[in-house]
Amino acid sequence: MGRNVFIDHGAYLNPSTVNGGKGFIHLGNDVEIGPYSVLWGGGGLTIGSNVHLGAHVHITTQQGHPVDRVHRTAFSVDVAPIVIGDDVLIYSGAIIVPGVRIGDGAIVAAGSVVTSYVPPGELVGGVPARSLSPTRLGRLQQRTAP
C-alpha cells in the first residue's frame, strides 16, 4: 500500500484464496477507495497512483462458473489480472471484470461495465463500456445542463 491511501467506510478489499492463494492487491500513492466498493484480487490487482474510485465500485480479478449438477462438476473460478494506471477516475457503480487494463489518465463513467482494454486518456461509459467521443460527451453535457 502506498502513501496517502484512503479507504472509505464499508469498502471491502480481499486478495482472495483462489488461484492457490497467489492473489494480491497493490495500491499506489494517493489512492481513494469510495464507500462500499469491493476489490477482489485473486488474479492480482494493481492500482497505480492518484486513482479515485467512487462509491460502490466493484473490481474483480476472478469469476466463478456455475456448478454442473448433471455431471457433478465442482465449482471452479477463473482468474485474470487487472491493472489500473496512474491518474485514473472510476466513478460510482462501475464494474471492472477480470483481465482488464485501464491506461493512465482514463475515466470510467458511473455505472459502466468495463470488459476490455481502456487506452490512456480515454473516457468510457455504458454497458459494456465503450469510448465516448468528445462530440458525444458534449451532447450528453448539453442534455444535463441546468
Q: How far is CA 44 from the centre of its chain?
A: 12
Cα 90 to Cα 2: distance, rounded to the nearest angstrom: 19
Q: Could you confirm whether 58 is annotated as catalytic?
A: no
Closest alpha carbon to 109 in 139, 87, 89: 89
Cα 19 to Cα 5: distance, rounded to the nearest angstrom: 26
Catalytic-role residue among 52, 58, 65, 71: 65
Closest alpha carbon to 46 in 77, 2, 4: 2
Cα 106 to Cα 129: distance, rounded to the nearest angstrom: 12
Q: Which residues are tagged catalytic?
A: 65
